[in-house]
Amino acid sequence: MFYDGVVTESDILHNFLLHEKVPVGSKIAEEVLPRAQSLNPLVKIATDTEPVSAKSADYFKEFTIVVATKIKFEHILKIDNVCRENSVKFIYGDVFGFFGFSVSDLQEHDYFEDRVQLIAGQKRGHDGEKKTVKIKGNMSYPPLNKVLILPNTKQDIIGIKKLSRPNNLFICMLTLLEFKKQTDREPDPSQKSDDVEKLKTIASDMIDLYQFSNVKLDNLYELLFGELAPVCAILGGVIAQEVIKAVSHKEVTINNIFLFDPVTYSGKELSVGA
């Protein structure tokens, strides 16, 4: 568990792993460790409270898969590049109010999927004898610098412009990443009106960049503030499931974006950059 953030009063209110008497200003990673460890005593959890910028490429070589959240945009791409160079799988996810998403880079990923087939010579029907067979598959994931492309980054947008139907939630995700990149923070409920206007401006720039049409985010802006425990639980569950599938090579993984719709409360998968 690698995080250099400190406890705020808001964290104490919504993070169930933090005790109510935890001192404000202490390191979150260290304070949540006891309760996080108690959830599964069989798994050893260690903490690291250094900033991401202090870590060398060698640090990430030790892992099979890296999961990141709440980090700066440049660190997302940096970690992904390091992971790719060392064949380490990478998943990034984040939550903004009722909205959440994850983006995966599993590189060249092999998997096995169980399928039910009729035994040779059997006729189709309810009485036919069946067997379960393992089918091997492969998926190629693009690097995240071909998926998460923001204005003024000089990245190639061709992969995203290939989308046959622009996804409102995908544009919303890019808008939030650009907002964090410009302000070095998340949308703040205490200055909602100003931040909504800034989000609208960024979204307009994003739509112009990709030359998308029929993208409407007006019903989403008010839903992007704060951090809601139910949404965190849903997104965390999706990412945890993807980690298990990626490491075990069992079942089909999401390739490559998961988007949680803040209006319908449903999950959507999207493939971008391939």
Q: Are strands 108-118 and 130-140 parallel, antiparallel or unpaired?
A: antiparallel
31: amino acid identity, one letter: E
As a whole-number percent, the residues of the chain with pLDDT over 90 amount to 68
pLDDT of residue 120: 66
pLDDT of residue 254: 97
Q: Rg of the chain's alpha carbons, rounded to an integer?
A: 21
pLDDT of residue 164: 61
Which whole-number Å values give the CA distances from 51 to 2, 60, 75, 232, in the listed order?
Answer: 8, 14, 11, 23
How confident is the model over 93-113, as pLDDT tens digits? 999 999 999 999 999 999 998
For 245-256, what is the mean pLDDT?
95
Report residue 61's pLDDT band, with 50, 70 and 90 as the boundaries: very high
Q: Is the pLDDT assigned to residue 161 strictly greater than 90?
A: no
For 169-180, what is the mean pLDDT?
95
pLDDT of residue 216: 87
Token pair in block for residue 45: 């959890």
Least confident of 45-59, 72-86, 158-172, 188-202: 158-172
pLDDT of residue 209: 82
For 198-222, what is the mean pLDDT?
90
Least confident of 23-27, 128-132, 247-251: 128-132
Report residue 197's pLDDT band, with 50, 70 and 90 as the boundaries: very high
pLDDT of residue 128: 62
The 3-state DSSP class for residue 111 equals strand
Token pair in block for residue 187: 């949308």
Token pair in block for residue 134: 């393992």
Which whole-number Å values give the CA distances from 236 to 100, 101, 233, 261, in the listed order?
Answer: 10, 10, 5, 15
What domains, with CATH codes, occur in the chain? 51-108+141-270 (3.40.50.720), 109-139 (no CATH)
Q: Is the pLDDT assigned to residue 125 strictly greater than 60?
A: no
As a whole-number percent, the residues of the chain with pLDDT over 70 amount to 92
